[in-house]
Amino acid sequence: MARKRGRGMAACWYGIARTATVDRAAAWAEIDDGGSAKIVTGVTEIGEGILTVLAQIAAHEIGVKPEHVVIGDNDTARAPEAAHAGASRQTYMIGNVVALASREARKRLVDVMAGMWDVAAETIRTGNGEIWAENTNHRISMGEAVACAKNRGVVPIGSATFGTDTTAIADGKDGDGSGRPWQAYVFGCQVAEVEVDTVTGEVQVLAVWAAHDVGRAVNPQGVEGQIEGGIVQAIGQGLMEDYQLKDGHASTSGFAKYILPTSLDVPRVNSIIIEDPDPIGPLGVKGIGEPAMVPTIPAVMNAIYDAVGVRVFNLPATPEKILLAMREKARRETMATQAAE
């Protein structure tokens, strides 16, 4: 058989938000005229879907529809600090702080309505663009409630800050690395199924099953998108991508020479989302952007070994390397047989 299949697996762990330092973020929220919500925080989409996640979180906390949430621009002169778009921190840091700011804005509105309706604030519910008091006939739209608040001189706004309880690690000269680098950890495991062409050395990753803890999935489709994208980037690194320098000069300075995964290189990704809520943040969310990429390469290398009995220690596992390793393996085996004879 020219093509051989195999399977491999690998696990991973990862820390969420900035490493070994105190992370923090802030946000402002306003329940606006007409019952929409306005969120201002230092965040812009880098593709991960954060704007949608924040809209869902604000909608959930305030009780409006996600399409009625407007998110302001990320601008150091116009928005509170939310710091960087990286470290798998956006849903955790900004998501949690938007929830807190939204809660405060909602509380302002609820307090006004509780006074107007003469009910306890705890009996007031919001959702789907409406506000009502339990076991009463009081029910109006959020837009009407905002108008009520404004007639009483109240603009329903909130603000919040969210910081981590983390420390540096002891990484000085005689340090042992001890410390509390993160407050939220995630774990994951992936299985890869590959097919190796024993004539060309080419590896196809046919499927990956990816199980990842994300704390709580705000938007499962977005989580899958992160897992699928991360796995394919890892396959790029594992099998084909290679930035090469000769005496400091790049020989792979365009996409013609720098090979990237295309639609024909990608596996079927089967995502399994695990929700082990973070006990510290108000939402239970964690993160997924980076951890999704970590187990893929070893899972694929373990699968290649399972298929053809060669292990690639030096990435990427190009067809040439696989063939060379297979030839080397065959040579060793022949020698062993001859020696035995």
Stretch that binds other proteins, among 134-142, 156-164, 215-223, 330-338 (CB under 8 A): 215-223
Residue 105 zone, left/alpha/beta (φ > 0; ψ -120 to 50; rest): alpha
322 binds other proteins (CB under 8 A): no
Residues numbered 111 to 130 that lie near other proteins (CB under 8 A) are 127-128
263 binds other proteins (CB under 8 A): yes
Between residues 22 and 243, which has the closer beta carbon with respect to other proteins?
A: 243
254 binds other proteins (CB under 8 A): yes
334 binds other proteins (CB under 8 A): no
- DSSP secondary structure string for all residues of 90-133: IIIIIIHHHHHHHHHHHHHHHHHHHHHHTS-GGGEEEETTEEEE
- DSSP secondary structure string for all residues of 173-197: TT----B---S-EEEEEEEEEEEEE
Greatest alpha-carbon span in the chain: 98
Confirm whether 290 is a catalytic residue: yes
Residues numbered 35 to 94 that lie near other proteins (CB under 8 A) are 42, 44-49, 51-52, 55-57, 59-60, 63, 65-67, 69, 71, 73-77, 81-87
Q: Cα separation of 300 and 68, whole Å?
A: 43
319 binds other proteins (CB under 8 A): no
Looking up tokens 């609820």 gives 110
Residue 308: in which H helix or E strand, if any?
Answer: helix 296-308
- In the complex, minimum distance from the CB of residue 137 to other proteins, in angstroms, rounded to a whole number: 19
Residues numbered 282 to 311 that lie near other proteins (CB under 8 A) are 283, 289-291, 293-295, 297-299, 301-303, 305-309, 311
Q: How many degrees, rounded to 5, is the angle at CA 160 between CA 87 and CA 127?
A: 100
Stretch that binds other proteins, among 11-19, 115-123, 139-147, 152-160 (CB under 8 A): 11-19
Considering Cα of 173, then 174, then 179, then 182, what sign does the dihedral take? positive
- Residue type for position 302: N
- In the complex, minimum distance from the CB of residue 148 to other proteins, in angstroms, rounded to a whole number: 21
288 Cβ contact list (under 8 Å, min separation 6): 88, 91, 186, 212, 214, 223, 226, 227, 230
142 binds other proteins (CB under 8 A): no
Between residues 133 and 217, which has the closer beta carbon with respect to other proteins?
A: 217
Between residues 153 and 279, which has the closer beta carbon with respect to other proteins?
A: 279
141 binds other proteins (CB under 8 A): no
268 binds other proteins (CB under 8 A): yes
Residue 274: in which H helix or E strand, if any?
Answer: strand 268-274
Residue 252 CB burial class (10 angstroms; 0-12, 13-18, ≥19):
middle
> Which residue among 252, 319, 321, 326 contacts other proteins (CB under 8 A)?
252
> Which residue among 29, 93, 146, 232 contacts other proteins (CB under 8 A)?
232
The footprint of other proteins on this chain (CB under 8 A) covers a number of residues equal to: 145
Tokens of 106: 């909602």
Considering Cα of 10, then 184, then 285, then 86, what sign does the dihedral take? negative
Q: Cα separation of 229 and 247, whole Å?
A: 33
Residues numbered 155 to 214 that lie near other proteins (CB under 8 A) are 169, 171, 175-181, 185-191, 193, 195, 204, 206-207, 209-213
224 binds other proteins (CB under 8 A): yes
- In the complex, minimum distance from the CB of residue 246 to other proteins, in angstroms, rounded to a whole number: 9
Residue among 193, 290, 320, 341 flagged as catalytic: 290
Between residues 231 and 323, which has the closer beta carbon with respect to other proteins?
A: 231
- In the complex, minimum distance from the CB of residue 323 to other proteins, in angstroms, rounded to a whole number: 17
Q: Cα separation of 116 and 136, whole Å?
A: 13
Catalytic residue list: 290
